[in-house]
Amino acid sequence: MPSQLVQNTMRTKRLPHIWCPGCGHGILMRDVCQAIENLGLEREKVSIVSGIGCSSRAAGYMDYNTLHTTHGRPIAFATGIKMAQPDMHVIVITGDGDATAIGGNHLIHAARRNIDLTVVVFNNSIYGMTGGQYSPTTPTGEKGTTAPYGNIDGDFDIPKLAEAAGATYTARGDCYHVPQMIKLIENGIKNKGFSIIEGVSICPTYYGRKNKKGSAVQMMHWQEQNCIDIKKAEKMTPEELEGKVLIGEMSRTVRPEYTELYDEIIRKAGGAK
Amino acid sequence: MANEQKRFQLLQGNEACVEGAIAAGMRFYAGYPITPSTEIAERSAVRLPQVGGKFMQMEDEIAGIAAALGASVAGMKAMTATSGPGFSLKQENIGYATIAEIPIVIVDVMRSGPSTGLPTSPSQGDVMQAKWGTHGDHPVIAICPCSVQDTYNQTVRAFNLAERFRTPVILLMDEIVGHMREGCELIPTDELEIHNRNTQMISSMPYAFGEGQYVPHMTSFGKGNLYNITGLFHDAAGFPTNDNKIAGEEGSRLMEKIKVYKYSGILEFEEEEMEDAEIGIVCYGGTTRAVQGAIEMAREEGYKVGMFRPVTLWPFPEHELIERAKQLKRLIVVEHNYGQVLLTVEGIIKGDTKVEFIGKVNGTTISPKEIFRKIVEEEE
Amino acid sequence: MANGKRLVVEPAWCKGCGYCVEFCPKKVLVLEHEKIVVKSPEACICCGLCEQRCPDYAIWVEKEAM
């Protein structure tokens, strides 16, 4: 029998999962489950919606209402669920390619509407499922199978992108700082509006190997040393912050939520019960 | 009741589609503006909140069908509408709806293509796309209304079929029918036959189905039955599988599902003046009125001409047409394309019946006179 | 084992990434044949850092049965 958390929140018969040894996605999936447990949400009132890619296999392992959709589209599917059942906690689990490349349009527009979804991006900076092609979050200069001479594209800062589009809660966590990541997801779920939490993942198989990042353990050490809390970063010089990844709550604003605004439309139209 | 609709109204086909959908129980619409289907979005935006439903204008066509599918999973009858270019964009998620077995109605008001084509002009160029547009083997139900009243009635039927068989249903309209304006009776819900998906689970397995049955029952998210939906081939529990036996059985069941129930409400066709006909005209949707006009002219001149109109275009009423063709010398297919239903008709009609064709794709409509001339040219 | 808690492992789920071994503050764990082994159970303080970072849910801390 696995741990109480895993028994309570996952489909244990489906485990062990398909992710590679050292893949950070397993850690992040547990973080999402722990956050839901900490908030005491009824499982019947939680939907997990995912797209396509390594990240999106999470839905099948999690014991909630789970919808594994098409590539890039989970936020659009999730929007429909939330509109049909506004009391449902709708959590999207997606990847860097799923959320910011093929699904980038849905991401910014859901943020613009401030619809009450919680999007957790498992960001491994690579297309893992297809074997290591560079993604919109592969750092400029680094390699993938389709960037053999180094990536010349700029890379997205996911929380900033979502904040600019109108998200009312944005945050970034990682695999090393587990309690913080759990707290960030909890706060995202609690925020009545569009929330996004980037989870910096670890892909030793493709991203790590292509870019000579060492073993899974060495990549975890890298997060330990280079993922800097945003509050601590305030006291650091630009030189000290060179090459660091900032973690913590990035932004929080208050704006009317979409399904509540739509209820007002129904009242105006005379359709309220 | 401020929002109560008058029973008889002068409506466009596109507007009748919305009224039929609401009567059938549609409570969610998501889509993107595109000519010549935009009135469907506009009327949905007005009417849905009046009945407690919800309308969303999405960021793109793909989001339109995706959000509609999400709402359907959460228990709302949902629809999206588009035209050619948007229909292309929605195709992947039509396949998703097929394999995940999520009820949804997709309206395609056809216009001339390919590409941007002639956006405001009539065409029936998406007939084969409706059948084969999404990748992989799959069955499809596509319905072609021919008038405003027919659009109302067939939209109700489209929802019923989607709910009964857990499948996407394509309402294949065209610019002629979408923008045609005529009197329409808005038959109220309590006078209609309305089907809702069966939400009683057969077992704890969400994709299990009863002995001799082909359609698993479906509980909505949020009703306490925690299960998984995926676009991968899946087992009865809803989980992805690479098991060749299970994958093969699932694929076959999806195909069989539509075949088996073809005569349980899916198939519908209409005949006019076929009893004594020697010449038959196959038409559907927007060409129907012109064909009716041509038949009237031809009958006045003594030609024995009748009309065979598939209302359900896919699956096609093959056996019915084959049977009818036995009495015919000639069968003329009339459509606004270069011969899409013609392909099917040529494929099934063997023997002495000669298959002929009138097609047009230049932005204008086929006139009764053109059809009449075709009827008489060989008879003189 | 500490404070009424105990460390449990499920070697069948272990994929041998080594996170738990590396980040255990008391060096309780080792990998043998790429599977987790509790080498020094007496040193374990049940802090749970291994459980937090195990991507495969193969190691965890639970309350000892009364």
Tokens of A145: 């199978």
Buried b (16+ CB within 10 A) or exposed e, B4-14: eeeeeeebbbb
B121: amino acid identity, one letter: S
* Distance in angstroms (rounded) separating the CA atoms of residues A193 and A169: 8
B57 SS3 class: strand
Nearest to A6 among C15, C53, C57 (CB): C57
Beta strand A245-252 with A169-174 is antiparallel
B204 touching A (Cβ < 8 Å): no
Contacts of A82 in chain B (CB under 8 A): 70
* Distance in angstroms (rounded) separating the CA atoms of residues A203 and A216: 8
CB contact (8 A) between residue A2 and residue C10: yes
CATH number for the domain spanning C51: value is 3.30.70.20
CB contact (8 A) between residue C13 and residue A2: yes
Instruction: Give the Cβ contact number of residue B218 at 10 Å.
Output: 23
Tokens of A63: 């014991």
Residue C12's domain spans which residues? 5-63
Per residue in A103-122, pLDDT tens? 999 999 999 999 999 999 99
Chain B 141-180, residues with CB within 8 Å of chain A CB atoms: none
Closest residue, chain A, to C60 (C-alpha): A3
A152 touching B (Cβ < 8 Å): no
Question: Hey, of B55, B228, B235, which one would you mutate to test binding to chain A, going by the most A CBs within 10 A of its CB?
Answer: B228
Query: Residue A87 above 80 pLDDT?
Result: yes
Total domain count for chain C?
A: 1
Chain centre distance of CA B284: 11
Report the pLDDT averaged over residues A213-237.
98
Shortest CA gap A209–chain C (Å): 15
What percent of chain B shows pLDDT beyond 90?
A: 94
By residue count, chain C amounts to: 66
Beta strand A169-174 with A195-200 is parallel
The residues, any chain, with a CB within 8 Å of residue A185's CB and separated by 6 or more, are A31, A32, A35, A118, A120, A173, A197
* Backbone angle region of B339, left / alpha / beta, with phi > 0 → left and psi within -120 to 50 → alpha: left
A19 touching C (Cβ < 8 Å): yes
By residue count, chain A amounts to: 273
CB contact (8 A) between residue A83 and residue B46: no
Whether residue A92 contacts residue A50, with contact meaning beta carbons closer than 8 Å, is answered with: yes
Contacts of C18 in chain A (CB under 8 A): 22, 215-217
Contacts of C54 in chain A (CB under 8 A): 26-27
B224 touching A (Cβ < 8 Å): yes
Question: Hey, of C54, C56, C61, which one would you mutate to test binding to chain A, going by the most A CBs within 10 A of its CB?
Answer: C56
DSSP category for residue A208: I
Closest residue, chain C, to A182 (C-alpha): C52
Per residue in B340-353, pLDDT tens? 999 999 999 988 89
CB contact (8 A) between residue A215 and residue C18: yes
Identify the pLDDT of residue B1: 45
CB contact (8 A) between residue A84 and residue B70: yes
CB contact (8 A) between residue A60 and residue B239: yes
Closest residue, chain A, to B240 (C-alpha): A60
| Phi, psi dihedral angles at A177 (to 5 degrees) | -90, 75
A24 touching C (Cβ < 8 Å): yes
Per residue in B252-284, pLDDT tens? 999 999 999 999 999 999 999 999 999 999 999
* Distance in angstroms (rounded) separating the CA atoms of residues B183 and B295: 23
Identify the pLDDT of residue C1: 61
Per residue in B139-173, pLDDT tens? 999 999 999 999 999 999 999 999 999 999 999 99
Contacts of A3 in chain C (CB under 8 A): 8, 51, 57, 60-62
Closest residue, chain A, to C9 (C-alpha): A2
Tokens of B161: 């079929």
* Distance in angstroms (rounded) separating the CA atoms of residues A31 and A179: 8
Shortest CA gap A102–chain B (Å): 11
Contacts of B230 in chain A (CB under 8 A): 59-60, 68
* Distance in angstroms (rounded) separating the CA atoms of residues A204 and A123: 13
B219 SS3 class: coil
A67 SS3 class: strand
Total domain count for chain A?
A: 1
Shortest CA gap C20–chain A (Å): 9
Contacts of A21 in chain C (CB under 8 A): 15-17
* Distance in angstroms (rounded) separating the CA atoms of residues B161 and A171: 45
CB contact (8 A) between residue B30 and residue A66: no
Identify the pLDDT of residue B3: 64
Shortest CA gap C51–chain A (Å): 9
pLDDT: which is higher, A214 or B379: A214
**Long-range residue pairs from A6-12, CB within 8 A, at least 24 positions apart, any chain:** A6/A30, A6/A33, A6/C57, A6/C60, A8/A33, A8/A37, A8/A63, A9/A33, A9/A36, A9/A37, A9/A43, A9/A62, A9/A63, A9/A64, A10/A61, A10/A62, A10/A63, A10/C57, A11/A60, A11/A61, A11/A62, A11/A63, A11/B228, A11/B239
Query: Which domains does chain B show, CATH number per domain?
Result: 4-191 (3.40.50.970), 270-379 (3.40.50.920)
Tokens of C26: 């008391």
CB contact (8 A) between residue B228 and residue A68: yes
B78 touching A (Cβ < 8 Å): yes
A27 touching C (Cβ < 8 Å): yes
Neighbours of chain B (3+ CB pairs under 8 A): A
CB contact (8 A) between residue B59 and residue A47: no
Low-confidence spans in chain B with pLDDT less than 50: 1
Q: C60: closest CA among C16, C18, C12, C5?
A: C5
A269 touching B (Cβ < 8 Å): yes
Whether residue B108 contacts residue B126, with contact meaning beta carbons closer than 8 Å, is answered with: yes
A18 touching B (Cβ < 8 Å): no
Residue A239's domain spans which residues? 4-272
Q: Do chains B and A touch (3 or more CB pairs under 8 A)?
A: yes
CATH number for the domain spanning A21: value is 3.40.50.970
Q: Is the dihedral of CA B226, B229, B233, B239 positive or negative?
A: negative
B88 touching A (Cβ < 8 Å): no
B239 touching A (Cβ < 8 Å): yes
Query: Residue C66 above 70 pLDDT?
Result: no
Beta strands in B127-180 (DSSP E): 141-143, 168-174
B252: amino acid identity, one letter: S
Identify the pLDDT of residue B235: 95
What percent of chain A shows pLDDT beyond 70?
A: 100
Pseudo-torsion of CA B61, B67, B71, B76, nearest 10°?
Answer: -20
Per residue in A122-179, pLDDT tens? 999 999 999 999 999 999 999 999 999 999 999 999 999 999 999 999 999 999 999 9
Tokens of A195: 């929330």
* Distance in angstroms (rounded) separating the CA atoms of residues A189 and A117: 8
B128 touching A (Cβ < 8 Å): no
Contacts of A268 in chain B (CB under 8 A): 49
Whether residue A60 contacts residue A52, with contact meaning beta carbons closer than 8 Å, is answered with: no
Closest residue, chain B, to A109 (C-alpha): B59
Identify the pLDDT of residue A16: 97
B132, B197, B266, B292 from B174: Cα distances, Å: 18, 28, 21, 17
What percent of chain A shows pLDDT beyond 90?
A: 99
Nearest to B93 among A70, A82, A272 (CB): A70
Shortest CA gap B348–chain A (Å): 36
The residues, any chain, with a CB within 8 Å of residue B380's CB and separated by 6 or more, are none
Q: B205: closest CA among B187, B223, B186, B226?
A: B226
